[in-house]
Chains A and B, each alone.
Chain A
Amino acid sequence: MLTSTDILALALDVVSRQNEGELVVVLPQSGKFFVLNGTGAEIFQRLDGERTLAEIAVALHAGYEDIPLARVQTDVLALAQKLLARGAVRAVTS
């Protein structure tokens, strides 16, 4: 289970591409894909192997100040968990 102190990076061979406001993420290991909406894409693209999930939530919150930080943190953690389960990201450290 991930926590807000975890740091994630994109999987080495994952390929992504923006189209019409959505981000398509393809996993070459399987040829499968998933689509992220604008917010999901913002989170995905911040998983740089340097920032913790908490830091990413704070940075994201700056653009969505009408949404409580706690809610943003929950969303970041939930998406990170899904991305990890799909093999799109890898844990760098915790």
Chain B
Amino acid sequence: MSWTLDIGGVCLTLTGADEWVGALAQAWPSWAGEKVDWEVQLLPDAGLPAPSQLYSEARPHFSGGNAFLAAPGFVGEIAPAQRHAVLRAHPTARLNDLSYFIRTVFALAAFEEENFLFHAAGVLHSESAYVLYGNSGSGKTTAAYLSKGKAVLNDDLLLLRPTPAGWKAWATPFGHRRHPALRSAPLRVLLHLRQASEDRLARISGGQALGELVANSPVINVDATRLPTLMQRWLLLLTEIPNYQLYFRRSNTFWEVLDAHVN
């Protein structure tokens, strides 16, 4: 079976076991595409040991330009130059495990097309995407949840891509969403989250800003070969998009601060 995942025009064609590809197509019905670009093979392999940990605990490592993602029960290899990836997994692998591999491939596919997969929540406000980012536990999901009445592109992973009209934030299927019909919006501002006892917007130093953006660029930030280009692209984006530190308390009142300071 074959099915194509299309996120903002970055397409991965999944092939392999009918049961797995079919389940993913069923999980992400509104993300079906047609353009054949990257191929991702999902192959059951009963010769592998049964998984003893979550595949998502595995971290990619890079060698010779390829990425490798291995854990007990899983052997994944991604070859960006060939736009090809293959995952051999024990037949008991779960959908979340397969999704984690696809997400890793997608990060590389997006990067090859000069986009970013970014650990961030995207919340729509005044028809623009306010992108809230930070490491796990920084409050992305909380801030998105607290933004009542606003569309959430995703509360964990976004695709950021340049267009002739400027940068756009795109929804991804890798996380929770609200108002799923909405797929993208112009990127208005980047906000590094920090939970605090008051709502406040602060300047973030150039070095800290670049470091935080890189730290929240999954997969690419552990590839020494691609890191210099990643940093250069973030610096270019920062010439167009403002970036602040947002201190927020567990309330939706931070939007008042944003309205007052982000035009």
Residues of A within 8 A of B (CB): 13-15, 17, 19-24, 26, 28-36
Contacts and interface: CB of A to CB of B under 8 A. Distances in A.
B139 to A, nearest CB: 20
A32 B222 CA distance: 9
A26 B211 contact: yes
24 contacts: A17-B232, A17-B235, A19-B210, A20-B205, A20-B207, A21-B207, A23-B207, A24-B207, A24-B214, A24-B231, A26-B215, A26-B227, A28-B222, A28-B227, A29-B222, A30-B222, A31-B222, A33-B211, A33-B214, A33-B215, A34-B211, A35-B207, A35-B211, A36-B207
Contacts of B227: 15, 26, 28
B164 interface: no
Contact of B207 (A13, A15, A19, A30): A19
A17 B206 contact: no
B231 A26 contact: yes
B45 interface: no
Contacts of A26: 211, 214-215, 221, 227, 231
Interface residues of B, number: 20
Nearest to A30: B222
B205 A17 contact: no
Contacts of B7: none
Interface string B86-113: 0000000000000000000000000000
Contacts of A30: 222
A70 B133 CA distance: 42
B209 interface: yes
Contacts of B228: 15, 17
B206 A31 contact: no
A16 B210 CA distance: 11
Contacts of A36: 207
Given A24-B214, A24-B231, A26-B231, A15 B224 contact: yes
B215 A32 contact: yes
B210 A24 contact: yes
Interface string B8-44: 0000000000000000000000000000000000000
